[in-house]
Amino acid sequence: MSRNSNEWKERPPFPQTHYVNTEIYTSEQIFREEQAKIFGKCWIIACHESELPGAYDFRTFNHPSGAPLIVIRGEDGTVRSFYNICPHRGNLLLYDPVGNAKRITCIFHAWSFNAKGDCIDISRAKQGYQDRFECKDAGLREVKTEIGYGGFVWVNVDDDSCSLKEYIGDALGLLEANLDQPLEVFHYHKAVVNTNYKLWHDTNSEFYHDYMHYFNRITGMIQPGYFDRKYTGYPNGHASVGSMSIKYDAYEGSAQRGVGWPGLAPGGWVLIDIFPGMTYNLRTSVLRMDTAIPLGPDKVVIEFRGLGLKSDTPEQRAERIRDHNTIWGPFGRNLHEDLLGVHGQGLAMRERSDSHWVLHGREENQTIHDEVGMRHFYAEWGHRMGRSASVPSTEASPAT
Ligand code: FES
Ligand SMILES: [Fe+2]
Q: Is 91 exposed, middle or buried (0-12, 13-18, 19+ CB in 10 A)?
A: middle
pLDDT in tens, 350-394: 766 666 899 999 999 999 999 999 999 999 999 999 999 999 888
DSSP string computed for 281-306: EEETTEEEEEEEEEEETTEEEEEEEE
Atom of ligand 1 nearest to the CA of 106: 2
- Which atom of ligand 1 is nearest to 86's Cα? 2
For residue 367, what is the DSSP state? B
Give per-residue pLDDT as tens, 260-299: 999 988 778 899 999 999 999 999 899 999 999 999 999 9
Q: What is the DSSP string of 182-211?
A: -EEEEEEEEEEESS-HHHHHHHTT--GGGG
pLDDT above 80 for 74? yes
Among candidates 162, 136, 167, which has minimal Cα distance to 149? Answer: 167
User: Which residue minimizes the CA distance to atom 1 of ligand 1?
Assistant: 89
For ligand 1, what atom is nearest to the CA of residue 111? 3
Give yes or no for a contact between 69 and 82, defined as CB atoms under 8 angstroms apart: yes
CB 164 within 8 A of CB 146: yes
Residue identifier of the C-alpha nearest atom 3 of ligand 1: 109
Q: What is the pLDDT of residues 322-341, one digit of tens each?
A: 999 888 888 888 899 999 99
- Calpha distance 180→123 (Å, rounded): 47
Work out the mean pLDDT of the chain and round it to a whole number.
92
Per CATH, the homologous superfamily of domain 171-385 is Naphthalene 1,2-dioxygenase Alpha Subunit; Chain A, domain 1 (3.90.380.10)
Q: Evaluate whether 44-151 and 171-385 have a shared fold.
A: no
For the stretch 197-211, pLDDT in tens is: 999 999 999 999 999
Pocket test for ligand 1, best of 70, 82, 104, 111 (most atoms within 8 A of CB): 111
Q: What is the DSSP-derived secondary structure letter of residue 257?
A: P
- Ligand positioned closest to the Cα atom of 202: 2
Q: pLDDT band at residue 78, thresholds of 50, 70 and 90?
A: very high
Give dist(CA 319, CA 249) in Å, integer. 16
Q: Is the predicted pLDDT of residue 254 greater than 60, yes or no? A: no
- Dist. CA 61 → ligand 1 center (Å): 20
- Phi, psi of 40, deg, nearest 5: -75, -5
93 alpha carbon to ligand 2 midpoint, in Å?
Answer: 38
Q: What is the pLDDT of residue 2?
A: 93
CA atoms of 66 and 32, how far apart (whole Å): 9
* All structural domains of the chain with their residue ranges: 44-151, 171-385
Q: How far is the CA of 62 from the centre of ligand 1 (A)?
A: 20
Ligand 2 centre to CA of 204 (Å) is 7
What pLDDT, on a 0 to 100 scale, did the predictor assign at position 246? 61
Residue 353: what pLDDT?
A: 60
Bond preceding residue 276 cis, omega within 30 of 0: yes
Q: How many angstroms is it from 86 CA to the middle of ligand 1?
A: 6
The ligand 1 site (C-beta within 6 Å) comprises 86, 88-89, 91, 106, 108-109, 111
**Cα–ligand 2 centroid distance for 6 (angstroms):** 33
For residues 94-118, average pLDDT:
98
**pTM to 2 decimals?**
0.94
Residue 237 has pLDDT above 80, yes or no: yes
CA of 210 to the centre of ligand 2 (A): 6
| For the CA of 93, the nearest atom of ligand 1 | 2
**Which of 70, 82, 91, 141 for a ligand 1 pocket mutation test, highest count of atoms within 8 Å of Cβ?**
91
- Return the ligand number nearest the Cα of 94: 1
Residue nearest to atom 4 of ligand 1 (CA): 109
Domain 44-151 class in CATH: mainly beta
Q: Answer yes or no: are the C-beta atoms of 388 and 395 closer than 8 Å.
A: no
- How much distance in Å is there from the Cα of 93 to the middle of ligand 1? 8
Q: Which of 70, 83, 84, 86 for mutating ligand 1's site (highest number of atoms within 8 Å of CB)?
A: 86
